[in-house]
Structures are given as structure tokens and as C-alpha cells.
Amino acid sequence: AKAVKNKGVDFQVITDPTATLATYKKDQLDSVSLTTPEQIKKYKSSKDLKIYNSSETLYMEYNQTGKVKGLTNAKIREALNLATDRKTIANSVSEGLDSAATGITPAGLAKTATGGDFAKAAAKATAYAYNIKKAKKLFAEGMKEVGLKKLTLTIEGSSDSTVTKSTLDT
């Protein structure tokens, strides 16, 4: 620490992924995040690519304010969870560089008392698995319980996040 001399860090927020990459290519940035599947596909074999574990989890949640009748039913919510193919979403957004979330805790963030990865231990406890057959069964049961014939859901995402946009396109 005594040998490190740093007068500061210049940080730029550029929301357009094309502009960000162009600025990096002009040597006006020291590093850049590849945030679109197209960028990742183009540069994932580059010798300059370095992958850093950012210990973050991006997630989707359902609005449970009670205003959407179907979402008040636990079976419908579980069906939506089981019908969400996290692995396919992660692969399509990151060209296979990111792993699918198994819970809210990112891999590598914390350890259990025995030294294991807390995210893996938590994933075992919730035992989530993509299961479309079970999802359809639970969804039908839940719809019957709340007396609905159809359910319309709206998906929203943050407008300034290219990762969110890519996820919503999946």
C-alpha cells in the first residue's frame, strides 16, 4: 500500500454501448464492459478480453402489490418461477460467459461456516429447477383457484441498461 501512488480515478458514464466501445478503441478509456450479446460475440475470443467476477446478481421480480389478481396466488408465482429458464437467459445475454443465477446471492461473494460457496448452499436449500411441465400444472391449478381464464402480465425493465434490454428481448 505504501508503494501505490494514485492521484485519482477518472470515471465516465456512457450509456450507449456503441459509443462506449468506440471511446475505448480510441484509447480514451482504459477498460470497458461488453454489455450486448453482439459485442460479447465479436470480442469474446479477443486476447484483450479479461473477465472479472463482479459478484452481482441481476434478477427479475413480479409485482406483488395485490393489484394483479393472478399474482396473489402462490401456485401461479411458483409456476412463473419454474417456467423461467435462467440458463437460457444467461447464455443468450452473455454468449455463455455468465452463469445462471440460482438465488439472490452471487457466486463467490460469501462462504459458509465450512468454507463452501454460500450461493451453492443457498441454491441447494431452494432446490430451484427449470421445469415447464410442473409449471404448466401449477399455473392451471392456480388459475382455477383464483377463477381466471387468462392472465396478462407486463414486463418492464430499466431503460438505460443494455443488459436489461437484452434480457427482455430473450
Cell of 28: 480514451
pLDDT of 23: 92
pLDDT of 114: 94
Span 103-136, pLDDT tens digits: 777 778 889 999 998 888 888 767 678 999 999 9
Q: Quick one: pLDDT band at residue 40, thresholds 50, 70, 90? A: confident
The H or E element containing residue 43 is helix 37-43
Residue 55: partners with Cβ closer than 8 Å, 6 or more residues away: 106, 107, 108, 109
What is the value of pTM for the model shown? 0.69
Question: What are the domain boundaries of the chain?
Answer: 1-51, 95-129
Q: How far is it, in rounded angstroms, from Cα 120 to Cα 109?
A: 11
Q: How far is it, in rounded angstroms, from Cα 146 to Cα 120?
A: 35
- pLDDT at position 99 over 80: no
Kindly state the average pLDDT of the residues 50-75: 79
Kindly state the average pLDDT of the residues 62-76: 84
